[in-house]
Amino acid sequence: MTMILELLPLDPLFFRDGKPFTMGDDAFAGSVFPPPPSAVYGGLRSAYIAHNGGLERFIAGDMKETVGTPDEPGSFALRGTFLKRGEDFLVPAPLDLARDKEPENLGMKDFLRRMRLVSADGQPSVLPSRRKTDFMLMPEEGRVVQESSGYLISHTSLIEYLSGDGSGYLGHPIKSIVEQEPKLGIKRDAKTHASQEGFLYRVNMYRLGTRNPDGSVNKVSLIADCNGSTGFPGEFLLRLGGDGKSCLVRNLGETHSLQSEDGREKLLARIENDRMFKVYLATPAIFHNGWLPKGAERGSNGETVLRLGELELKLICAAIGKPLHIGGWDMHRNKPKPMRRAVPAGSVYFFKIIKGEASDAFELFDNTNISDFNPEQGFGLSFVGAAK
């Protein structure tokens, strides 16, 4: 069973980034927003255990089928996390979109335009490891643009983007969705609870929602798209992020497909005709091959080829953001989790189908978690779209 859970924070939230922090040596603890999906997965998993008998039943293995063990996942899985403002679901803007550096008017400053696939024609590669590709992304002639990282687009715009409709979409900068609130902290003695000299530090908290000039507030929440989540109450409280801030969680019902059946058939026919498609990452992905999905090999001419069963693909272009560092704390072993580099959400891969059918590509890449590490925690949720 799949369903949508809405998380309404009652306080500003704090999520640590992957950079090391030593209290006393560092004065600033880095933070990140949106949070990695693993942070939401861990909070929901803990809440499930608390509402279904507690740690004793979990340790005894009574919840093994649903939430697994400290080493193995169960049937409960997080497909992805998003933001919701009003009735709009918001997702990271694809990185093959760009905004004008000098817009014609202020009303267009957040408008994100598609970049074009043009022949690389021997130009040096800008991809990691200098991977050779047939195409590169360029803006319309005469336009000077900047990247779309840090922007979100609506669920409706994502559907249009994947189907190949429209040349541009309204972007929403994250700073218009959440407000940063700096907070000072200081280490306290465990016995006396007195503050310790030289241990003052600062963190950035994130308050979801922004205040309008008239005093009204734009309500923003986190959305968790889950599988196997039937053991949750209809409404409950959840502790999330650093300091375990409270969130009110509500069940919004079952997940609906991103594409209608008719829309999917049209997109499938278009990809089959072009023999090209793109893969958009809605959440960060962690791959064995660094920034490349599994099955990637370097061909004899320096190109990148993916072989996945009967399907053979050639990477013809990519728009990859700066890597994220994903870690965390292993509560079972009481030590840090391994730090891994993740491809950020919004990254886009363009492929040409060498062997196989478009339906094979859909089965492997559309609406599925393709991350090699922790896909059950919401990493690597991908969708297939038209390449041009």
pTM, full prediction: 0.91
Q: How far apart are CA 320 and CA 173, in angstroms?
A: 19
Burial 149-164 (b: 16+ CB within 10 A, else e): bebbbbeebbbbbbbb
Q: What is the 3-state secondary structure (H, E, C) of 79-121?
A: EEEEEEECCEEEEECCCCEEEECCCCCHHHCCEEEECEEEECC
Burial 57-77 (b: 16+ CB within 10 A, else e): ebeeeebeebbbeeeebbebb
Close Cβ partners of 136 (under 8 Å, ≥ 6 residues apart): 117, 118, 119, 120, 123, 126, 317
> Vertex 281, ends 275 and 286: CA angle to 5°?
115
- The pLDDT assigned to 2 comes to 78
Q: Which amino acid is at 176?
A: S
Residue 74 phi/psi, 5° resolution?
-105, -160
Close Cβ partners of 286 (under 8 Å, ≥ 6 residues apart): 326, 340, 341, 342, 343, 371, 372, 373, 374, 379, 380
Q: Return the CATH class of domain 114-151+258-386.
A: mainly beta
- The pLDDT assigned to 39 comes to 92
Q: Nearest to residue 18, comparing CAs of 379, 336, 375?
A: 336
SS3 367: coil
Residue 123 has pLDDT above 80, yes or no: no
Weakest-pLDDT range from 55-64, 182-191, 207-216: 182-191
**Average pLDDT estimate for 245-274:** 85
Q: How confident is the model at residue 188 (pLDDT cuts 50, 70, 90)?
A: confident
Cis peptide upstream of residue 9 (ω within 30 degrees of 0): no
- The pLDDT assigned to 28 comes to 57
Domain ranges of the chain: 2-87+176-254, 114-151+258-386
Question: If 0-12 CB within 10 Å is exposed, 13-18 middle and 19+ buried, where does residue 262 land?
Answer: exposed
**Average pLDDT estimate for 130-143:** 84
Q: How confident is the model at residue 101 (pLDDT cuts 50, 70, 90)?
A: confident
**Average pLDDT estimate for 183-206:** 73
Residue 257 has pLDDT above 80, yes or no: no
- The pLDDT assigned to 87 comes to 85
- The pLDDT assigned to 109 comes to 85
Q: How confident is the model at residue 345 (pLDDT cuts 50, 70, 90)?
A: very high
- Write out the H or E segment, with its range, that includes residue 354: strand 348-355
| Crossing angle of the two packed helices 261-274 and 358-365, in degrees rounded to 10 | 120
Residue 114 has pLDDT above 60, yes or no: yes
Is the Cα dihedral 70, 83, 228, 348 positive or negative?
negative
Q: How far apart are CA 275 and CA 279, in angstroms?
A: 14
CA–centroid distance for 344 within its chain: 7
- The pLDDT assigned to 319 comes to 94
Most confident of 16-30, 49-63, 115-129: 49-63
Selected residue with higher pLDDT from 162 and 105 = 162
Q: How far apart are CA 83 and CA 73, in angstroms?
A: 25
